[in-house]
Amino acid sequence: MKRLWIENGTFVTMDDQRPVLKGHMVVEGDTILYLSEELPDPLPEGAERMNGQGLVFMPGLINTHGHAAMSLLRGYSDDQSLQVWLEQKMWPMEAKFTDDDVRWGTSLAVAEMLKSGTTTFVDMYDRMNIVAEVAEQSGIRAFLTRGVIGLCPPEVQTSKLNEAKQFVQDWNGKADGRIATMLSPHAPYTCPPDYIVRIVEAAHELNVPLHTHMSESAAEVAQNVKDYGCRPVEHLDKLGFFTRPALLAHAVHLTDDEIALLAARGAAVSHNPASNLKLASGIARVPDLLKEGVTVSLGTDSAASNNNLDLFDEIRLAALIHKGVSGDPTAVPAQEALKLGTVYGAKAIWQEQRVGQLKEGLKADFIAIDMEQPHFYPQTEIISHLVYSGSGRDVVHVWIDGNQVVKNGECLLLDEAKILAESQRCFERLLSS
Ligand SMILES: N[C@@H](CCSC[C@H]1O[C@@H](n2cnc3c(=O)[nH]cnc32)[C@H](O)[C@@H]1O)C(=O)O
Ligand SMILES: [Zn+2]
């Protein structure tokens, strides 16, 4: 079996037992076989050797919410509220999307994510077969779901749900186990209650988790109260949503009771600070969620509301904004912020036994960061440096399942020049059609 031996590296493990260690890591096949300050004994036979000096190795980042194909709409609508951005700008453009647009928009997103250190991403979109093909080819790990908007006639609702179920059947566990799937009503405000109930039942049948957008804006919460007589968490609870493992994007506007209910139900949250700031949606109660024991992770949302997919930005924002709004400089410290993007990300997608830390027995999904740069000197607190002065541009190498997918900042399995040219062509066609 293929072996890689990294010598004399600095490893930020995200394992509380030994958060940072200097030493050696051996990868065998798709798995971390050995990680220690000591030389491996016996020395790994036939291993490719790599000098880790000047590099920091850490678990690949986990982006728990996004819509990759929307990278085509980066910069197309800035400085708008969620409702205007979504209904007047995104939906009309997305209605014109073809297979080709989804392919090149997704490829653009995946290239950007890989190069900035994301090794697992969650994606909610349609034409998901194409998204899965891009994920398979690129080497990335992906948790994919055909999101469904239910503001349409019953027969269209049914065909969308059938498509979402078929996607699960076709792709769950594919790409050497790198692809997992779930089901997702787009949001309580775009799916009637009876449709959400049908989606929950389908998730039980297929034994997959659920994902949705929830309580992103104050307007949508007010609408929920007006239409259904309760706030979104209680509404989803009544519809049985939390009888499945559930991942909720945004969760910005929550009461104490809602936080308690999420904790009791074991639901996980994807905190998307950049998107929430840009659409002026508000600031999620992350310190309170963490205090109550809710699993919180990080997502970029799409590049159309971010406007990049660099998860280091989300890590830094999470570490900064909660201090600012609470007046407490100890809110979301650096170590906790980095956990949001790694080990808690893994937990939020029920993958903590496989990814999210550098640990013997876990999958070899890891990244290398170039520390020999002015913004990382003097070299003192590495975790602080990564969170407060690092960015995705510092990532030089990326491995997923033990395979190197980015080398010296270049994607090995994607044709970057072609992706840039094709995405430009797709966007221009969308604009003029
Ligand atoms: N087109 C599908 C739904 C795909 S789910 C992905 C949808 O999420 C939308 N979206 C992207 N970001 C956000 C957000 O922050 N809040 C709510 N919806 C979003 C996006 O515009 C896209 O329409 C259907 O009609 O059933
Ligand atoms: Zn979204």
Give the pLDDT confidence of 387-423 residue by residue, as tens digits: 999 999 999 999 999 999 999 999 999 999 999 999 9
Residue 128: what pLDDT?
A: 98
Residue 215: what pLDDT?
A: 98
ipTM: 0.98
DSSP letter (8 states) at residue 363 = B
Beta-strand relationship, 366-370 and 395-400: antiparallel
pLDDT (mean) for 141-155? 98
Burial group, residue 414, by CB count within 10 angstroms (0-12, 13-18, 19+): buried
pLDDT (mean) for 346-357? 98
Residue 134: what pLDDT?
A: 98
- Quote the distance between the C-alpha of residue 113 and its chain's center: 9
Cβ(278) to ligand 1 under 6 A?
no
Cβ(283) to ligand 1 under 6 A?
no
The tens digit of pLDDT for each residue in 227-236 reads 999 999 999 9
Q: How confident is the model at residue 36 (pLDDT cuts 50, 70, 90)?
A: very high
CATH 3.20.20.140 in the chain, residues?
61-348
The tens digit of pLDDT for each residue in 80-90 reads 999 999 999 99
Cβ(146) to ligand 1 under 6 A?
no
| Nearest residue by C-alpha to atom 15 in ligand 1 | 301
Which candidate, 396, 391, 424, places its Cα nearest to that of 410? 396
Residue 220: what pLDDT?
A: 97
Q: How confident is the model at residue 72 (pLDDT cuts 50, 70, 90)?
A: very high
What is the crossing angle of helices 128-138 and 99-115, to 10°? 40
Q: Are 277 and 301 in contact (CB under 8 A)?
A: no
Residue 164: what pLDDT?
A: 98
24 carries a ligand binding annotation:
no
Cβ(186) to ligand 1 under 6 A?
yes
Query: Which contiguous run of DSSP H or E holds residue 51?
Result: strand 48-51
Q: Would you state the CATH architecture of domain 3-60+359-411?
A: Roll (2.30)
Beta-strand relationship, 118-125 and 48-51: unpaired
112 carries a ligand binding annotation:
no
d(CA 298, CA 271): 5
213 carries a ligand binding annotation:
yes
Cβ(382) to ligand 1 under 6 A?
no
Rounded distance from Cα 59 to ligand 1 centre (Å): 29
Return the amino acid letter for 369. Answer: I
Token match 């010598």: residue?
7
The tens digit of pLDDT for each residue in 113-135 reads 999 999 999 999 999 999 999 99
* Structure tokens belonging to residue 394: 């510092």
Q: Are 338 and 312 in contact (CB under 8 A)?
A: no
235 carries a ligand binding annotation:
no
pLDDT (mean) for 378-393? 97
Token match 């407060």: residue?
388
Residue 272: what pLDDT?
A: 98
Residue of 152, 213, 253 with the most ligand 1 atoms within 8 Å of its CB, for mutation: 213
Rounded distance from Cα 187 to ligand 1 centre (Å): 9
220 carries a ligand binding annotation:
no
178 carries a ligand binding annotation:
no
pLDDT (mean) for 221-230? 98
pLDDT (mean) for 258-285? 98
Question: What are the phi and psi torsion angles at 108 (to 5°)?
Answer: -60, -45
d(CA 92, CA 94): 6
CATH 2.30.40.10 in the chain, residues?
3-60+359-411
Residue 385: what pLDDT?
A: 98
Rounded distance from Cα 279 to ligand 2 centre (Å): 12
Three-state SS for 319?
A: helix
The residues, any chain, with a CB within 8 Å of residue 164's CB and separated by 6 or more, are: 145, 146, 147, 148, 183, 184, 199, 202
Q: Are 68 and 304 in contact (CB under 8 A)?
A: no
Average pLDDT value over all residues in the chain = 98
Beta bridge partners of 295: 268
Rounded distance from Cα 65 to ligand 2 centre (Å): 6
Three-state SS for 106?
A: helix
61-348: in CATH 2.40.110.10 = no
* Structure tokens belonging to residue 154: 């019953």
The tens digit of pLDDT for each residue in 302-335 reads 999 999 999 999 999 999 999 999 999 999 999 9
Rounded distance from Cα 409 to ligand 1 centre (Å): 31
